[in-house]
Amino acid sequence: MPRALAGLLTLVLVGLTGCAPYALRGAVISGHTPSVQWVEPNDPRLVEPGLASARVSVWLDPDRLTPEKLGVVSTRGDGKFAMPIHTAGAGVLIMDIKVRGERPPDHGSATQALSLPHRGKHLLITLVPGPDTHPQPQGNLLERTLRDAQPFLRD
């Protein structure tokens, strides 16, 4: 019976979060070491001058062959961003995500696999000035594998 009660509680929590969509909020700043990390909303780095027009991309279940792209947003003039996440259970259930921040051509990129936190945490992305030393391959793993295998496949 406890298992059934836990399942019912999970359904109620997921239903309640459907009323108020979860939003991933944060800032992209310039720094000496590239990073993507969760911070408290009162972290002083969130009020530093940020990088305008940086791109933030988020994928759900990054270890799958075909991770689901949850969205891409650009930062405002102050370096802040907000991305609504419309996945059921976001902000309540633990979900694995991959976050990538980038601002070509004047800053590098930062990519990190994280767990989607409960409401209240903010994402702080730090990019290093200069060229991107870790460019990301285009497409998901399955698409890249099929593209790379194309010369070896028979018609």
Give the model confidence (pLDDT) of 102-132 as tens digits.
998 999 999 999 998 777 899 999 999 998 8
pLDDT band at residue 50, thresholds of 50, 70 and 90?
Answer: very high
- CA distance linking residue 90 with residue 88, whole number of Å: 6
The verdict on residue 141 lying in a domain is no
Distance, CA of 69 to chain centre = 9
- CA distance linking residue 105 with residue 34, whole number of Å: 15
Q: What is the pLDDT of residues 66-113, one digit of tens each?
A: 888 999 999 999 999 999 988 887 777 788 999 999 998 999 999 999
CATH of the domain at 77: 2.60.40.10
Strands 122-127 and 68-74: unpaired
- CA distance linking residue 109 with residue 133, whole number of Å: 8
| pTM of the predicted model as reported, rounded to 2 decimal places | 0.74
- What phi and psi values does residue 12 have, to the nearest 5 degrees? -65, -45
Q: Which domain holds residue 129?
A: 2-134
pLDDT at residue number 144:
67
The verdict on residue 152 lying in a domain is no
The verdict on residue 140 lying in a domain is no
The verdict on residue 145 lying in a domain is no
List b or e across 138-148, with b for residues whose CB sees 16 or more CB atoms inside 10 angstroms.
Answer: eebeeeeeeee
